[in-house]
């Protein structure tokens, strides 16, 4: 296991990776971290600063200067950003002027941190520097890959808490990272084992979250090395959701534990974004090219292309909604003004480019794809300037779906098994069509959005479709119930209610009133911890990850009322 951890450490970048991992390790070791990595402020050579008890039992200040990988001559003394220059800054500037007053009577330990080893060619120079600059009050320590790995295995992943089965799942997840389904299954079992371990005290729950964070880092670095981060991406979603389950009772409150819980959860979300960035770097540059994304799906099956492009649609939309959350002060999503260089505008346009250039996204085949379509509609609605894009997409979605149904083509079915979808439609009969469309969350979703963003005949077509061909189909939407707080973040399928028999009228008024009435009377959504604490993207993340319909309370405010003047034109 130490070799797996060392490989992970050696592959970490200096900024926002190795220096981001270090504070969590120090906190788990009992250190008080008083300075974390920052941008835009002068650090004077110090990446992380903490106070803790040394091996001799004395409380000291630890100042960490971080470099990635092995320490070679160039990294030691070859540039102004080299480690020796940072150490000189610590000695000459940080120690005399930047140490907080309450710690100025403590001894100082300057730590040279790097994920690999010191190269032999520079080893004597480093030793000589340390000997020359050690004083009665200032000492030096090398925290290389071996020492960091030992500290991780004796700290965050210590044997008395992190059992052999957990280590086995971590090793297997890392080893099988090029087989995403297998790697994710092992990571899921690992996280489940961490979460289920008894922990009554808040500090124990925070320690669990740090374990999840460290394990996700290991999986991510191995996936990045293998140029395949599909498993790490899925794992990062699961890690965020289970960590929220562990920590949400502390986040937003006062006290040391609340601060630590908020920091750990924020670090996990930032790591999720880092995995997303690695994945998106291979996708987003090609969304504006016709069929480019569809062509990259490693299958000639139209079903595989359809499923994969919708999955990509949901992932891009969710990342854009996270950006909207950071930009907005509202408790729920709201339309936002953007500029051309705004990251929210950029990703919304990339999403529209994906839709426009990949026709599979205009012909859903499974009702489950309502999840991805809902997220995409939300991002387009949040953007505020893409009303015509929403209306155009809705028109095409409804027209092609209606045509596929009438011709016994690949219309959306309530079947969800992959092999059922492979054979769909198995028969070109009215009896089979009734069976395959017994219920739908997609059609009422489209009806509500079409009622608010009219640009063509989408709503009229849906009303005709419902009355002429889908009288047997239960148009329904999912709502959280009293059990959803306990089940939403862990993926339980034993929670939630369905609003059934939603009407669809050509004007959209009856549809909207029917759903609005239920939203007003159902208060279980507002009781979800993610909603109460203002973290609504967590609910969307759970819906996307566990393939749960997105509740209308979170997106209905983005849809103008059918009889309002603020509709798409």
pLDDT per position as a tens digit, 509-536:
999 999 999 999 999 999 999 999 999 9
**pLDDT at residue 121 is higher than 60:** yes
The pTM of the full predicted model, rounded to 2 decimals, is 0.90
Where would I find the beta strands (DSSP E) of 269-348? none
Predicted pLDDT of residue 569? 45
d(CA 540, CA 547): 10
Predicted pLDDT of residue 390? 93
Q: Which residues of 159-186 are buried (b: 16+ CB within 10 A; e: fewer)?
A: eebbeeebbebbbbbbebbeebeebbbb
For residue 68, name the pLDDT band (cuts at 50, 70, 90).
confident
Predicted pLDDT of residue 374? 98
For residue 13, name the pLDDT band (cuts at 50, 70, 90).
confident
d(CA 418, CA 514): 33
**pLDDT at residue 334 is higher than 80:** yes
**Greater model confidence, 157 or 390:** 390
d(CA 511, CA 529): 29
Q: What pairing do the DSSP bridges indicate for beta strands 107-114 and 138-143? A: parallel
Report which secondary-structure segment, H or E, holds 53.
Answer: strand 48-53
pLDDT tens digits along 432-449: 999 999 999 999 999 999
d(CA 395, CA 460): 10
Residue 113: helix, strand or coil by DSSP? Answer: strand
Residue 70's Cβ-count burial label (10 Å; 0-12, 13-18, 19+) is middle
Q: Which of 501, 528, 519 lies closest to 561, judged by CA?
A: 519
Q: What is the mean pLDDT of residues 313-324?
A: 98
Report which secondary-structure segment, H or E, holds 212.
Answer: helix 202-225
Q: Is the Cβ–Cβ distance between 358 and 294 less than 8 Å?
A: yes
Q: Which of 149, 126, 290 lies closest to 214, judged by CA?
A: 149
Strand partners, 60: 52, 107
Q: Which of 475, 470, 464 lies closest to 503, judged by CA?
A: 475
**pLDDT at residue 1 is higher than 80:** no
206: tokens are 């925070």
First and final C-alpha spacing in the chain: 60
Q: Which of 529, 555, 547 lies closest to 493, judged by CA?
A: 547
Torsion angle (degrees, nearest 10) of CA 144, 261, 525, 472:
20
For residue 564, name the pLDDT band (cuts at 50, 70, 90).
low
Residue 569: helix, strand or coil by DSSP? Answer: coil
Report which secondary-structure segment, H or E, holds 171.
Answer: helix 164-175
233: tokens are 């991406």
d(CA 446, CA 186): 37
d(CA 436, CA 550): 22
The DSSP call for residue 254 is: S
Percent of the chain with pLDDT over 70: 97
Asked if omega into 425 is within 30° of 0 (cis), the reply is yes
């Amino acid at each position: 296991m130490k070799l797996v951890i060392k490989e992970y450490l050696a592959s970490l970048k200096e900024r926002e990776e190795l220096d981001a991992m270090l504070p969590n390790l120090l906190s788990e070791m009992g250190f008080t971290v008083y300075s974390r990595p920052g941008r835009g402020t002068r650090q004077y050579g110090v990446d992380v600063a903490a106070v803790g008890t040394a091996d001799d039992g004395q409380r000291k200040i630890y100042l960490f200067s971080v470099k990635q990988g092995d320490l070679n001559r160039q990294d030691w003394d070859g540039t102004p950003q080299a480690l020796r220059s940072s150490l000189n800054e610590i000695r000459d500037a940080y120690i005399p002027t930047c140490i907080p007053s309450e710690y100025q009577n403590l001894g100082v330990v300057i730590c040279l941190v790097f994920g690999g080893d010191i190269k032999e060619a520079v080893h004597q120079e480093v030793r000589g520097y340390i000997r020359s600059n050690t004083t009665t009050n200032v000492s030096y320590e090398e925290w290389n890959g071996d020492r960091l790995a030992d500290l991780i295995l004796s700290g965050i992943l210590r044997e008395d808490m992190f059992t052999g089965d957990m280590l086995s799942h971590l090793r297997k997840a890392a080893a099988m990272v090029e087989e995403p389904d297998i790697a994710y299954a092992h990571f899921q079992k690992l996280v489940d084992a961490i979460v289920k371990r008894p922990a009554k005290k808040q500090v124990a729950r925070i320690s669990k979250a740090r374990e999840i964070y460290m394990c996700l880092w290991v999986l991510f670095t191995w996936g990045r090395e293998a140029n395949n981060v599909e498993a790490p991406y899925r794992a990062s979603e699961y890690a965020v959701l289970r960590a929220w389950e562990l920590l949400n009772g502390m986040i937003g409150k006062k006290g040391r534990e609340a601060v630590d819980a908020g920091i750990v959860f924020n670090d996990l979300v930032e790591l999720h974004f880092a995995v997303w960035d690695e994945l998106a770097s291979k996708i987003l540059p090609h969304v504006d090219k016709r069929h480019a994304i569809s062509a990259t799906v490693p299958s000639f099956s139209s079903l595989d292309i359809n499923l994969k492009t919708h999955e990509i649609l949901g992932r891009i939309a969710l990342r854009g909604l996270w950006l909207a959350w950071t930009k907005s002060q509202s408790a729920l999503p709201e339309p936002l003004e953007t500029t051309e260089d705004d990251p929210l505008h950029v990703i919304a346009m990339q999403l529209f480019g994906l839709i426009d250039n990949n026709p599979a996204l205009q012909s859903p085949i499974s009702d489950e794809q309502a999840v991805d379509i809902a997220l995409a509609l939300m991002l387009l609605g949040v953007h505020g300037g893409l009303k015509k894009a929403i209306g155009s997409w809705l028109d095409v979605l409804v027209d092609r779906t209606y045509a596929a149904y009438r011709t016994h083509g690949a219309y959306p079915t309530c079947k969800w098994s992959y092999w059922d979808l492979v054979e769909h439609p198995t028969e070109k009969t009215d009896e089979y069509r009734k069976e395959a469309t017994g219920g739908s969350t997609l059609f009422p979703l489209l009806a509500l959005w079409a009622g608010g963003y009219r640009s063509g005949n989408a709503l009229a077509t849906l009303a005709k479709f419902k009355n002429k061909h889908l009288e047997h189909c239960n148009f329904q939407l999912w709502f959280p119930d009293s059990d959803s707080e306990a089940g939403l973040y862990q993926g339980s399928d034993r929670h939630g209610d369905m609003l059934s028999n939603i009407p669809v009228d050509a004007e959209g008024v009856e549809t909207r009133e029917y759903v609005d009435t239920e939203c007003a009377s159902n208060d279980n959504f507002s009781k979800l911890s993610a909603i109460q604490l203002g973290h609504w993207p967590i609910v969307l993340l759970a819906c996307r990850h566990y393939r749960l319909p997105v509740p209308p309370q979170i997106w209905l405010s983005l849809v103008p009322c059918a009889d309002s003047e603020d509709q798409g034109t």
